[in-house]
Structure 1
Amino acid sequence: MTWTELVMGSAPMLGESPAVSDVRTGELLSYAAFARRVTHAAAGLRRFGLRYGDRVLVNLPLGAALPVAVHAVAWAGGVAVLAASGKARMMITHRGYDTSEVEVQHVFAVEPVPGALPFSELLGDATVEFGPLAGPALTLDGFRVFDHDELATDLRKLTSRVVLGKDDVVLAAVSDVFKGLRLLDVALMSGAHVVIAHEPTLVGCRVLAHEHRATMVVAPYELAKRLLGDPTLRVVDERALVSSLTR
């Protein structure tokens, strides 16, 4: 199975079960909605001219839109570039972008941005039922490109270190977008529910963990250390998400 197939594999069984809760926006994305948006956005990207191997800048914060955008690009056969600048076929951004730093044909924005099309423009009736069997899918710096096989193999290794099940609720308090994406991948593959904290603090994490009945929190070392002591909560240092992809 490819990287995105692994991540979307739980959707048919879990349907309307919660997949991602975004504390910042209040959005709750079910497994069915996640898979639906990925496959429809992939079709939208192709409709706007994305071709196999084309790059798409993805400049989004950790949130519900991030895994949808990244996996839509990969499912459409493109390469998601986690960057705010550079040359690419298209760009998916959050609130804005520097036109002097970007060379793209189309810009899609999650929130209204002058000169950009709304991300919802990608979510038409068409769908991509089958993504690529292999090939490039993701780059962090624009130079080293990871293919589906590398990403899938690494994801399987991560699931042996961060063990999750469909009854888990995971509070994501990680420090950067890539670690957040890898945690989302692990959780979605496992059928868990991820609650994404925004600018997490010790008190904020404790409140969110209580409100959402979290069973696990993944956070940077110093924050994770201070969260230890709750017998109902597994605390994981985000360094467990560091993989061969970042070495």
Structure 2
Amino acid sequence: MTWTELVMAAAPMQGDQPAVSDVRTGEVLSYAAFARRVTRAAAGLHRQGLRYGEQVLVNVPLGATLPVAVHAVAWAGGVAVPATAGSARLMISQGPYDPTAFKVEQVFSFRPAPGTRPFSELLAEGAHEFGPLAGPALTLDGVRLFDHDELAGDLRRLATRLVIGKDDVVIAAVSEPFRGLRLIDLAMTAGAHVVVAHEPSLVGCRVLAAERRATMVVAPYDLARKLLGDPVLRVIDERAVVSSLGL
């Protein structure tokens, strides 16, 4: 089972249950919507001529749209490159982008922006039902490539250490998008619900956890240390979700 297959595996059972909620935008991504958008956007990328192993820039912040963008690229056989600058033929953005920082031919944006095409265009026709069996899927620097087997195997190992169940509500108070993406991946393999917080304070994190009836929070060391001792929350240092990848 490849990386994206593993993350989508709970979708048939979880259906319209929330997978990712974004506190900042209010968007809620269900399991069914995630699987549908990933497979349809992958088909759209193929229509744009995406080649196996071709790198696609992903200029999308942590939230409900990031896992859709990254896994659509991987499911299409491309290599997702989370980036704030770079060169590639294709890019997926959240909204406006700086053309002096990015050298790209086509940009598909989740929000209307000059010089971009709507991400919804990628969803227009059919779905790509079968992703790659293996091969490169993601890079953070354009040099070291993480393949499907490595990313899926790491998720399985993480699941034995950071046990998450389908009834868990996990607050993602992480410091950067890739750590948040790995946490979302991990939680989705279990059918859990991730609530993405954005740079929360200690009080803000506690309030959010109470409002969402959270059972777990993953946060930077300093914030995690202050949250320890809560009788309800399991508190995890964010480094735990990427340390086994050597990051």
TM-score by length of structure 1 reads: 0.97
Distance of 1:98 and 1:21 partners within structure 2: 27
Q: CA deviation at 1:112?
A: 1.9
What do residues 124-161 of structure 1 show as CA deviations (whole Å, max 9, x unaligned)?
13100000001110000111111111111111111122
Determine helix, strand or coil for the equivalent of 2:40: helix
SS across alignment from 2:111:
coil
> Residue in 1 aligned with 2:181?
181
Residues of 2 paired with 1:66 and 1:162: CA distance? 22
Indicate the residue corresponding to 1:160 in structure 2. Answer: 160
In structure 2, what is the equivalent of residue 102 of structure 1?
A: 102
CA distance in 2, matches of 1:58, 1:159: 26
**Structure 1 partner of 2:143:** 143
Q: Which of 153-162 and 21-30 deviates more?
A: 153-162
Q: Find the residue that maps to 1:207 and give its secondary structure.
A: helix
- Per the alignment, residue 218 of structure 2 pairs with 218
The Cα of 1:174 is off from its aligned counterpart by 0.4
Residue 93 of structure 1 aligns to which amino acid in structure 2? S
The equivalent of 2:236 in structure 1 is 236
In the other structure, the counterpart of 1:50 is: 50
Partner Cα distance (1:133, 1:182) in 2: 20
- In 1, Cα distance between equivalents of 2:246 and 2:142: 13
- Unaligned residue ranges in structure 2 (runs of 5+): none
Unaligned runs of 5+ in 1: none
Q: For residues 135 and 172 of structure 1, what CA distance do their matches in structure 2 show? A: 29
Q: Which amino acid aligns with 1:197?
A: A
CA drift of 1:226 comes to: 1.1
Matched, 1:195 2:233: no
Tell which deviates more after alignment, 99-108 or 167-176.
Answer: 99-108
Are 2:174 and 2:199, in contact at CA under 8 Å, matched by a contact in 1?
no
SS across alignment from 2:100: helix
| Aligned twin of 2:125 | 125
**In the aligned structure 1, how far is the partner of 2:131 from the partner of 2:7?**
13
Q: Root-mean-square deviation (CA), in Å?
A: 1.1
User: Equivalent residue for 1:88?
Assistant: 88
- Give the drift of 1:103: 2.2
**3-state DSSP class of the match of 1:105?**
strand
For residues 205 and 58 of structure 2, the distance between their equivalents in structure 1, rounded to whole angstroms, comes to 27
Helix, strand or coil at the partner of 1:99: coil
SS at the partner of 1:104? Answer: strand
Distance apart, 1:245 and its partner CA = 2.4
* Contact 2:216-2:235 at 8 Å conserved across structures: yes
Q: Please, what TM-score do these two structures have when normalized by structure 2?
A: 0.97
Residue of structure 2 in register with 1:74 after alignment: 74
- Per-residue Cα deviation, 1:88-115 (whole angstroms, up to 9, x for no partner): 1211112322212322221011222110
Q: Deviations over 1:148-206 (max 9, x none)?
A: 11111111111122110100000000011110010001000011000000221111111
1:88 aligns to what SS in structure 2? strand
Structure-2 residue corresponding to 1:36: 36
Would the aligned equivalents of 2:171 and 2:218 in 1 still touch at CA under 8 Å? yes
Identify the residue that residue 23 of structure 2 maps to in structure 1.
23
